[in-house]
Structure 1
Amino acid sequence: MSYYQPPSRPGSPRPLRTLGLVLGAVLATVLLGFAFLVAATPQSVPGHAQLSLVQHSGTGQQVAAPLSTQAIANKVNPGLVNINTTLGYRGQQAAGTGMVLTPNGEVLTNNHVVAGATSIRATAVGNGRTYGATVIGYDRTRDVAVLKLDGASGLPTVPLGDSSRVAVGDSIVALGNAGGAGGTPVPAPGKVSALNQSVNALDESTGNTEQLSGLIQVSANIQSGDSGGALAGSTGRVIGMTTAAATGGPGGEGGGIGYAMPINQALSVARQIVSGAASETVHLGKSAFLGVAINDSVSGAVIQQVVAGGPAAHAGIAVGDTLTTFDGHAVDSASTLTGLMDRFHPGDKVGVGWLNQAGHERTATVTLAEGPVG
């Protein structure tokens, strides 16, 4: 993690990430689960050589008789988990959803559900047990993460469908940890209203932006906490992973418009993660940590806070200094630093440069620590 978001107050709810959605000439605002910002470290993860999934690839959603909303929920809910995270450096907690892919507890979710977490716990809807969880890997740019539930076995998995067969007008049911309430997810029925949508994401707490594309747009009551949950088709097979919702409803409700990542796209990333194939965007294992909070300004990457006892503090970096270089590369913003940090892992030594408040240039070599999830 390149830096952390300072807490507003102990126990405060994690802020929502907003998205600007561009649909032709229409500009709307949408919410995406919970805020995120962390840099990761690519490293190999033993013991996860292959992700074997049974994925239905019929000729359409209506091959089998459509099920009732409750029947779909009964079919999908046992394979869901309610995720709760502690954001230690922010003094906050957050909640989301995940989908069980394998009986031994490999779970698919959005990266933003677990980003910034210093601990993760997941309660399986199917058996009611709560497990500690570790992150196998994640892709921040495509907002996908895969978790491993500690000590899990014999878990029911979600029934997987084929998102390439989805059409506008198809009936859907969204299932997730709405509002972070826990327990058995309450179904949110709706329809597919558009395909292949793109959203520009803005994290209001950090100012970072990203684009997600190829999303399924639905008319359904998506809420905060639903992120990482299941979007099921009329036959009860998962065709998408709930990722975003339009603003407008009270209490984090989505105002009736939601967005899901096609399940084929999400599973492609998940398979890459579980196979241990790191790339420019896929990061495996633990995250590196410099220990500074950065405030982007016209004068550059100004240090807002420094974690006591962290690598930056040991180097002599102080609040009010301006970070200028990392590993020999120029740093002009928080997002630039996060991208540079992706190349490193805990224990790596790296050169940093900064300008102190007196205007003097300083350099040091720091040993990166282990930080929160990316």
Structure 2
Amino acid sequence: MGKFPVRRPFAALLIALATALALVTPVFPAMAAPGDPIAAAAQVEPAVVRINTEIDYQGAYGNGAGFVLDPNGQVLTNFHVVSGADRITASVGGRSYPAELVGYNRRRDIAVLQLIGAYGLPVAPIGNSAQLTAGEPVVALGNANGTNGPLTREIGTITAFGRTVNAEDSLTGSKDQLEGLLEFAAPVVAGDSGGPLVNGAGQVVGITTAASVNFRFGPGGEGFAIPIDDAMPIANQIRARTPSAEVHVGPPVLLGVGVRSAQRGPGVQIADVLRGGPADRAGLSPGDVLTVLDGTPLDTATTLTYVLDRHYPGDVIDLTWIDRGGLERTGKATLTP
């Protein structure tokens, strides 16, 4: 099972993969496409959600996609599509709704949104990803053209199963490994993340989550998708608002730091501190090294994000850090949403 390094920006709407992915050869020869894949995808298009995000801290805007799970506006998408967003808006069938994050699983890059005021929406037909075969035609529907443009329809074939990619958040420095992905030959681009991967029967069989953005796509580009059989149990747990070690219900909490792994010794180095945020009020400054969070020794930025995912707004956590003068200091931070 191959592993591919990838760097993911903080507000990234697509996971970037190494350029070598374009050279991946299908595991089996492609089979003839039965029927019209665009006609099959048309059965899902009414349930595709265009997602737009705003991040105040970075002054950033982004777009991605999702699809409707419930007529009353529950939507499945990638967590990285909405990660860090201060405002989320979504549109279905030309109508726009404010959206809130119901919950997420960071490790699996799954999130569920609730469209405020939505009702009577068309629901995406869900298929069975376990029945997919190499060479089977698929279509990735996405929002790369933006809310005012037509949906992207990237046609391709399944090329491999059980793929693994490594994603990095360039602001926090956290790294996540996504496993068990479908690989498909289709030129997906930024904005397609979170959108449905549709089979020839007009059913959702995956969630587009990764593609290479290190080169200009042409025919034969490679994309990656979370199998729908893996995504739906996580989505249903989030919809039931049942938290666990990996599922966080509600928006993420804010510590208010950008970090990178410490160059020497344990801990993570503070690269940036959000003015007025919990870390700032606790006394942390850029250049400090955060060594312990909530009793957990920090070895990587990934450990920091996983510790924070166990907490909710209003929680008070203990911090231990080494300041720029080399002195060990302690403090407390009250987490905010």
> Shorter-chain TM-score: what band?
0.7 to 0.9
Task: Please report how far the alpha carbon of residue 258 of structure 1 lies from its aligned counterpart in structure 2 after TM superposition.
Answer: 1.0
Residue 57 of structure 1 aligns with which residue? none
Contact 1:294 1:334 survives alignment (8 Å): yes
Residue 175 of structure 2 aligns with which residue? 209
For 1:93-136, what per-residue CA distance to the aligned partner results, in whole angstroms no more than 9, with x for missing partners? 11100010111000000111111111100011x2x111100111
Q: Which AA in structure 2 matches 1:303?
A: I
SS in 2 for 1:264: helix
Task: Please report how far the alpha carbon of residue 185 of structure 1 lies from its aligned counterpart in structure 2 after TM superposition.
Answer: 0.9
1:362-373 equivalences under 5 Å are 362-370=329-337
1:194 equivalent to 2:160? Answer yes
SS in 1 for 2:152: coil
Scaled by the length of structure 1, the TM-score of the pair is 0.79
Residue 288 of structure 2 aligns with which residue? 321
Aligned Cα RMSD in Å? 2.7
1:153-164 equivalences under 5 Å are 153-164=119-130
Task: Please report how far the alpha carbon of residue 263 of structure 1 lies from its aligned counterpart in structure 2 after TM superposition.
Answer: 1.1
Q: Determine the C-alpha separation between the residues in 2 that align with 1:80 and 1:333.
A: 36
Q: Determine the C-alpha separation between the residues in 1 that align with 2:307 and 2:281.
A: 20
Residue 165 of structure 1 aligns with which residue? 131
Q: Which AA in structure 2 matches 1:159?
A: P
**Unaligned 5+ residue runs, structure 2?**
1-7, 24-30
Q: Determine the C-alpha separation between the residues in 1 that align with 2:128 and 2:197.
A: 12
Residue 27 of structure 2 aligns with which residue? none
Residue 65 of structure 2 aligns with which residue? 97
1:288 equivalent to 2:253? Answer yes
Aligned length: 320
Structure 1 residues 213 and 336: alpha-carbon distance in aligned structure 2, compared to 1, 3 A threshold: closer
Q: Determine the C-alpha separation between the residues in 1 that align with 2:215 and 2:325.
A: 48
For 1:136-179, what per-residue CA distance to the aligned partner results, in whole angstroms no more than 9, with x for missing partners? 11001111100000000011111211111111111111111125
Q: Determine the C-alpha separation between the residues in 1 that align with 2:270 and 2:249.
A: 28
Q: Determine the C-alpha separation between the residues in 2 that align with 1:338 and 1:254.
A: 37
Structure 1 residues 205 and 182: alpha-carbon distance in aligned structure 2, compared to 1, 3 A threshold: farther
1:72 equivalent to 2:37? Answer no
Residue 220 of structure 1 aligns with which residue? 186
Contact 1:14 1:93 survives alignment (8 Å): no
For 1:176-206, what per-residue CA distance to the aligned partner results, in whole angstroms no more than 9, with x for missing partners? 1125464331321111112222222233454
Residue 226 of structure 2 aligns with which residue? 261
Contact 2:79 2:106 survives alignment (8 Å): yes
Q: Determine the C-alpha separation between the residues in 1 that align with 2:298 and 2:145.
A: 37
What is the percent sequence identity of the aligned residues?
Answer: 43
Alignment partner of 1:335 out of 282, 291, 302: 302
SS in 1 for 2:234: helix
Contact 2:173 2:260 survives alignment (8 Å): no
1:177 equivalent to 2:175? Answer no
Q: Determine the C-alpha separation between the residues in 2 that align with 1:344 and 1:160.
A: 32
SS in 1 for 2:43: helix
Q: Determine the C-alpha separation between the residues in 1 that align with 2:193 and 2:246.
A: 20
Q: Which AA in structure 1 matches 2:208?
A: T
1:118-133 equivalences under 5 Å are 118-124=86-92, 126=93, 128-133=94-99
**Unaligned 5+ residue runs, structure 1?**
8-12, 22-26, 31-61
Q: Determine the C-alpha separation between the residues in 1 that align with 2:173 and 2:234.
A: 26
SS in 2 for 1:167: coil
Q: Determine the C-alpha separation between the residues in 1 that align with 2:13 and 2:125.
A: 32
Structure 1 residues 316 and 186: alpha-carbon distance in aligned structure 2, compared to 1, 3 A threshold: closer
Task: Please report how far the alpha carbon of residue 298 of structure 1 lies from its aligned counterpart in structure 2 after TM superposition.
Answer: 1.3
Task: Please report how far the alpha carbon of residue 268 of structure 1 lies from its aligned counterpart in structure 2 after TM superposition.
Answer: 1.3
Contact 2:13 2:191 survives alignment (8 Å): no
For 1:274-298, what per-residue CA distance to the aligned partner results, in whole angstroms no more than 9, with x for missing partners? 1122111111013221112213231
Contact 1:180 1:224 survives alignment (8 Å): no
Residue 271 of structure 1 aligns with which residue? 236
Scaled by the length of structure 2, the TM-score of the pair is 0.87
Q: Choose 105-114 or 199-208, whichever is displaced more.
A: 199-208
Q: Which AA in structure 1 matches 2:48?
A: L
Structure 1 residues 328 and 253: alpha-carbon distance in aligned structure 2, compared to 1, 3 A threshold: farther
